[in-house]
Amino acid sequence: MTRPHPVPGTPAADIPLSRTPLDVLRAQVTACLGEAARSWLALALDEAAARSGAHGPISVWELRLAEAGRRCGTDHADAVRVLILHAAHAGPDALTRVYRQGTAAERRAVLHALPHLVAGPDALPLVEDALRTNDTSLVAAAVGPYAARHLDAHNWRHAVLKCLFTGVPVDEVADLRHRARADTELARMLDDYAAERAAAGRPVPEDLYRVLALTATEAKES
């Protein structure tokens, strides 16, 4: 089993083969919380599981998403929200509602939760919306495993460029090495962007050269 794309606010840990990434995420979060926060999280997950599949105009678990930062601290709120969304088995409709109506932090949690909850491309409009913003935390969340799995080549290349435009580290781009392999169009776009920056007397992001080298190296290896 491979290590999942990390959710900010959780410590790194190896994942035993007998446990799912979300099992490990819950253990990591619980270990970091105080007694009151652990009790609140356990109750919130039970409530979400009890309401699984019964999504009305607004569910109890959706209210818990809004409380997560206050109850568990901002450092762990993203991970807590992912766990609640998973316990509720939130589908594309519920995820879209939370994303559209929620705060930036709740939107970020939805994006982190997508690879755990949506098997197909149904939630791509949420990723595309996040990539249109200038909120770097949303952009970083949008280029995770779900985008790596479902964004087509054209939109994925532009997502990489969006990271360079906004200063989001390309380390946030899931499956970058694999998707950049032998991608001559991505290399051309990177060359053009570097030339534009140089002509304007602006520095070229170091990450651009990292991605460009990836495309060249992978092309040779293949």
The pLDDT value recorded for residue 22 is 87
| Residue matched to tokens 């818990």 | 64
Provide the residue type at 149 as one letter.
R
Q: How many CB atoms lie within 10 A of CB 165?
A: 13
- Both tokens of 87, joined, read 């316990």
The pLDDT value recorded for residue 204 is 95
Per-residue pLDDT tens digits for 91-123: 999 999 999 999 999 999 999 999 999 999 999
Give the three-class secondary structure for 133.
coil
The pLDDT value recorded for residue 123 is 97
Per-residue pLDDT tens digits for 60-86: 889 999 999 999 999 999 999 999 999
In angstroms, the CA 212 to CA 112 distance is 27
Percent over 90 (pLDDT), the chain = 80
Report which DSSP code applies to 203.
P
- Secondary structure in 3-state letters for 1-48: CCCCCCCCCCCCCCCCCCCCHHHHHHHHHHHHCCHHHHHHHHHHHHHH
Q: How many CB atoms lie within 10 A of CB 63?
A: 11
The pLDDT value recorded for residue 4 is 45
Q: Report the sign of the C-alpha dihedral through residues 96, 70, 49, 82, in that order.
A: positive
Give CA separation, 89 vs 45, 116, 183, in Å: 11, 9, 36
pTM, two decimals, is: 0.85
In angstroms, the CA 181 to CA 136 distance is 25
In angstroms, the CA 149 to CA 123 distance is 12
Mean residue pLDDT of the chain comes to 88
For residue 175, with 0-12 CB atoms within 10 Å meaning exposed, 13-18 middle and 19 or more buried, which class applies? middle
In angstroms, the CA 131 to CA 135 distance is 9
The pLDDT value recorded for residue 59 is 79
Q: In Å, how far from its chain's centre is CA 43?
A: 25
Residues of the chain with pLDDT under 50: 1-4, 12-17, 55, 218-222
Q: Which of 152, 182, 29, 118 is nearest to 131 (CA)?
A: 152
Report which DSSP code applies to 177.
H
| Contact yes or no for 12/32 (Cβ under 8 A) | no
